[in-house]
Amino acid sequence: MYSIKNKIVWITGASSGIGEALAYGLAEKGAILILSARRAEELERVKQSCVRKYGAQVIVCPLDVSDRSEIDRVMNILYSKLDKIDVLINNAGYGHTENFIDYDFSKVENMFKVNVLGLMYMSQQVAAKMVEHRSGHIINIASIAGKIATPKSAVYSSSKFAVIGFSDALRLELKQHNIKVTTINPGPVDTAFFDTFDPEGSYLERVEPFVLTPEKVAEKTIAVIGTNKREVNIPKMLEASSKFYSLFPVLGDFFVEHVFDKK
**Catalytic site positions:** 156
Burial class for 67, CB neighbours closer than 10 Å (0-12, 13-18, 19+): middle
Q: Would you tell me the crossing angle of helices 249-259 and 236-247 to the nearest 10 degrees? A: 140
Rg over CA atoms, the chain = 18
Alpha-carbon distance of 188 to 7, in angstroms, equals 29
Q: How many CB atoms lie within 10 A of CB 120?
A: 18
Residues in a beta bridge with 208: none
Alpha-carbon distance of 65 to 56, in angstroms, equals 24
